[in-house]
């Protein structure tokens, strides 16, 4: 095929990229102006903390990466999907994303061969293209990794499904974007997955909406609920934006922005009342860490991440308790806890997903400790890494963390913890993981097949 014909065939990519660049430029200027106004009393600016340069992993770091990969070796099902939690045959799109990011990281770090990478990726994409969809529109919130059946959170089969998560879908589009830009040979398989989705009900007026059924009312009617609070909302919107979707409102940091002074640091929080909006406004590490590792922070998320991190360091300096908080699975009831910098009007709040107090389960998060170290590599993050670097089983993978009160290890083993650790170690070696413009252009979300 001639060079001229190649250019003709690629013109829609160039037009899209040009439009995307212009759009982001406009949004950036608007947000810069608003940002300066909102942060007129800013105390600390992240531009004073330069991003560390990529470097080869040490032998010890390479061993840590290999330990993280063992989780996926142990938990891959014949379908090609991976269990969210060790030996528990269920997954969400978020945890499937963690697997795909872990897979990409393992390949780039030389842990697996190109042959294994290709086989695993093709198997996973083939299964994702077969998943039954909630109301024939979008992926369900949870699936059985053995049968691909839609399930409830207890892994019991639910033929209709329980709805979808817009944030989880946005997360899955991160590895899809990486594959589209940097592994174009998989573009057709990614397109096959996306072509079955109907994105219209997820995106409304520039915002992201999840779908759910109110079990308390015992009705089957789907409710559409705006998803995302500061940090997670913008993170998930970025991958949707890269695929040409209108998430203009979801990308705005300032609409519900309120600063809370926590241990002397003005931390960005979300003003939406959980009682009114039926969603908690957790401020945690994970969304900012993933934004930095994968996209490379923009000007606003860079500043906000720095404040969230600084508050955790300040708590350590005040209490002597190493602090690295995020949401995590735990190895005992209630099995999942949000350890937050701020939520529901309280600093250093630890709660379950329904807002029940879970202070006794406050933990140092392994994945957050690795993430903060990868992004900053300063004195405090080295302390976090030193504490977290012993929280593993060499044959099973990395544990989720360490309980503050008892100092016991939180021995929950999950795809998310081990995937983010692999991402963090790859970031140390290569820098940000999603580099738009590498190789071919993006996959555009296709119209749903009739």
- Residue-wise pLDDT tens digits, 188-207: 999 999 999 999 999 999 99
Q: What is the pLDDT of residue 25?
A: 44
Four-residue CA torsion sign, 396, 386, 419, 274:
positive
Residue spans of the domains in the chain: they are 1-38, 39-430
- pLDDT-derived band at 221, boundaries 50, 70, 90: confident
- pLDDT-derived band at 255, boundaries 50, 70, 90: confident
Give the Cα separation of 383 and 67 in Å (integer): 21
Give the Cα separation of 61 and 385 in Å (integer): 11
Per-residue pLDDT tens for 66-89? 999 999 999 999 999 999 999 999
φ, ψ of residue 266 in degrees (nearest 5) = -80, 105
Q: What are 139's strand-pairing partners?
A: 133
Here the tokens at position 436 are: 């738009």
3-state helix, strand, coil in the chain (%, to 5): 45, 15, 40
φ, ψ of residue 171 in degrees (nearest 5) = -65, -40
- Whether 288 has a pLDDT exceeding 70, the answer reads yes
Q: What is the pLDDT of residue 446?
A: 43
Q: Measured over all CA atoms, what is the biggest interatomic distance in the chain, rounded to whole angstroms? A: 68
Closest CA to 99 of 380, 406, 371, 418: 418
Q: What is the pLDDT of residue 279?
A: 62
Three-state secondary structure call for residue 199: coil
- pLDDT-derived band at 387, boundaries 50, 70, 90: very high
Give the Cα separation of 149 and 224 in Å (integer): 23
φ, ψ of residue 146 in degrees (nearest 5) = -90, -45
Closest CA to 64 of 431, 372, 367, 288: 367
Closest CA to 401 of 287, 304, 286: 286
- Whether 8 has a pLDDT exceeding 50, the answer reads no
Q: What are 85's strand-pairing partners?
A: 88, 414
CATH number of 39-430: 1.50.10.140
Four-residue CA torsion sign, 322, 323, 324, 325:
positive
């Amino acid at each position: 095929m001639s060079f001229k014909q190649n250019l003709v065939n690629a013109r829609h990519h160039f037009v899209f990229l040009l439009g995307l660049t212009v759009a982001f430029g406009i949004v950036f200027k608007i947000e810069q102006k608003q940002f300066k106004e909102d942060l007129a009393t800013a105390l600390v600016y992240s531009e004073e903390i330069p991003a560390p340069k990529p470097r080869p992993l040490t032998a010890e770091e390479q061993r840590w990466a290999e330990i993280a990969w063992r989780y996926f070796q142990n938990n891959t099902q014949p379908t090609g999907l991976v269990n969210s939690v060790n030996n528990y045959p269920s997954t969400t799109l978020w945890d499937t994303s963690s697997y795909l990011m872990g897979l990409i990281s393992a390949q780039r770090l030389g842990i697996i061969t190109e042959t294994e990478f290709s086989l695993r990726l093709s198997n996973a994409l083939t299964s994702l293209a077969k998943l039954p969809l909630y109301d024939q529109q979008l992926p369900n919130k949870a699936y059985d990794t053995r049968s691909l059946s839609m399930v409830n959170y207890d892994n019991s089969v639910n033929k209709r499904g329980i709805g979808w998560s817009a944030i989880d879908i946005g997360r899955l589009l991160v590895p899809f974007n990486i594959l589209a830009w940097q592994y174009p040979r998989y573009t057709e398989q990614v397109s096959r997955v996306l072509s079955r989705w109907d994105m219209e009900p997820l995106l409304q007026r520039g915002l992201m909406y999840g779908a759910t059924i109110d079990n308390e009312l015992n009705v089957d009617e789907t409710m559409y609920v705006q998803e995302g609070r500061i940090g997670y909302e913008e993170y998930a919107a970025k991958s949707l934006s890269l695929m040409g979707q209108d998430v203009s409102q979801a990308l705005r940091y300032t609409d519900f922005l309120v600063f809370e002074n926590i241990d002397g640091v003005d931390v960005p929080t979300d003003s939406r009342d959980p009682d009114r909006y039926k969603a908690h406004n957790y401020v945690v590490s994970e969304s900012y860490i993933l934004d930095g590792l994968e996209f490379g922070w923009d000007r606003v998320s860079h500043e906000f991440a720095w404040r969230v991190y600084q508050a955790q360091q300040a708590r350590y300096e005040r209490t002597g308790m190493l602090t690295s908080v995020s949401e995590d699975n735990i190895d005992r009831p209630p099995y999942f806890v949000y350890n937050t910098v701020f939520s529901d009007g309280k600093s250093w709040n630890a709660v379950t997903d329904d807002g029940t107090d879970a202070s006794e389960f406050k933990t140092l998060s392994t994945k957050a400790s690795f993430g903060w170290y990868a992004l900053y590599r300063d004195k405090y993050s080295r302390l976090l890494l030193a504490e977290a670097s012993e929280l593993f089983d060499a044959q099973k993978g990395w544990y989720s963390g360490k309980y503050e009160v008892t100092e016991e290890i939180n021995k929950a083993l999950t795809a998310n913890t081990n995937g983010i650790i692999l991402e963090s170690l790859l970031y140390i070696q290569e820098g940000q993981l999603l580099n738009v413009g590498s190789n071919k252009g993006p996959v555009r979300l296709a119209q749903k097949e009739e």
